[in-house]
Amino acid sequence: MDTDKHRYANVLNPSASEHPQPLTLLTEDEAILRDSVRQFAEARVRPLVREMDEHAKIPRSLVDHLFDLGVMGIEIPETYGGSGGTFFHAVLAVEELSRVDPSIGVLVDVQNTLVINALLRWGSDDVKRRYLPKMAASTVGAYALSEAGSGSDAFALTTRAREATDADGSHYLLTGRKLWITNGNEADLFMVFATVNPEAGYKGITAFLVERGFPGFTVGKKEDKLGIRASSTCELILEDCRVPGANVLGDVGKGYKVAIETLNEGRIGIGAQMIGLARGALDQSIKYTKERKQFGKPIAEFQAVQHQLARAAVDVEAARLTVYNAARLRDAGRPFLTEAAICKLFSSEVAERVSSLAVNLFGGNGFVKEYPVEKLFRDAKIGQIYEGTSNLQLQTIAKQIIG
């Protein structure tokens, strides 16, 4: 009995064990980052939201301000000129920016959770020296996996990489087309996936770092989208694009591993974008219902409206917990595949529900561009599509829990 008491002492006596940190309790540096990004979003981003949506473009000056703020290189070590932060810091930044404009949130998300994380994990020392300082200072990155015939079937790639040698050394010639590439207009560095051996299937896929100025590389059509319109989504055209052998990211034929593991982290970033969007829609709804009067009083005083707002708040908080949990697990080096799929699936559904409710609560005003919620409603839809559709997330979760 005494042995049992000793065994459970740390559980029964909180002072005898180290407390796990609550998911939403931020450390001092996390809170400072959140507050600074929130202030930036309100001061610098919000005045431009409608203009950026209408013109489908992010001003380069705003991108430069994001670099100055330090959020374009959050996890890059200070030795390379970055902020030296954590994955969770990146999640907080994406959430706060997306509360004001999800287009800016996804720009920062792709930069950090996809491109920079891949460089940190798979890049050689030479690659890190050449590219990380640039990505911390001024270079936007893009992640190029999707093609016309490889969306959910991500590895049905037709983009081909042929090895060649000339007087300048070993290199690859990449030929093919990529579609739906976020940051296509802004980026100067593209992580492009191509196959060196189609007969090897996914084991022929290799990741390459392609600079905008490489011969044979062109940014093509820019998509005219329903939502996140300021965020550029472009076609990439590679016609015997010459890529140095030193720009292979990871091992030749192991690009599928780079893609899978990077996307698993990226889905947490999309979760952060979606909870930021949902928070923005809820904040706007609360503010508007306090101001809008019907039958002699603000509509926020009607019980039906109060219950709708309460349910939306529950949804947002639950989604936020799934995102923070996945991010904390990732930073702790623990398995997070299932949790990443859960947070991506649930947060995207919550974003659509809460933004739709916001349009309803705004009434006729919710349907016009003069008010902010119709844009958030349009922006929400992409969350269930990119970086793995909702059906793919369900399949991932099912496979993990069933075995």
Residues with catalytic roles: 387
What's the token pair of residue 87?
Answer: 């994955």
Strands of 286-371 (E only): list them.
Answer: 293-294, 297-298
Q: Kindly report the backbone phi and psi dihedral angles of residue 325, in degrees, each rounded to the nearest multiple of 5, phi listed first.
A: -65, -45
Report the 10 Å Cβ neighbour count for 368: 10
| Separation CA 22–CA 155 (nearest Å) | 38
- Between strands 141-144 and 160-166, the pairing is unpaired
Q: Kindly report the backbone phi and psi dihedral angles of residue 308, in degrees, each rounded to the nearest multiple of 5, phi listed first.
A: -65, -45
Do residues 138 and 83 make contact, with C-beta atoms less than 8 angstroms apart?
Answer: no
Do residues 285 and 358 make contact, with C-beta atoms less than 8 angstroms apart?
Answer: yes
| Separation CA 185–CA 389 (nearest Å) | 24
| Separation CA 280–CA 101 (nearest Å) | 9
What's the token pair of residue 270?
Answer: 């999309």
| Separation CA 27–CA 67 (nearest Å) | 23
| Separation CA 392–CA 403 (nearest Å) | 16
Query: What residues contact residue 295 under an 8 Å CB cut-off, 6+ apart?
Result: none
Using DSSP's 3-state secondary structure scheme, residue 153 falls into: coil
Do residues 359 and 373 make contact, with C-beta atoms less than 8 angstroms apart?
Answer: yes
Do residues 342 and 322 make contact, with C-beta atoms less than 8 angstroms apart?
Answer: yes
- Between strands 293-294 and 141-144, the pairing is unpaired
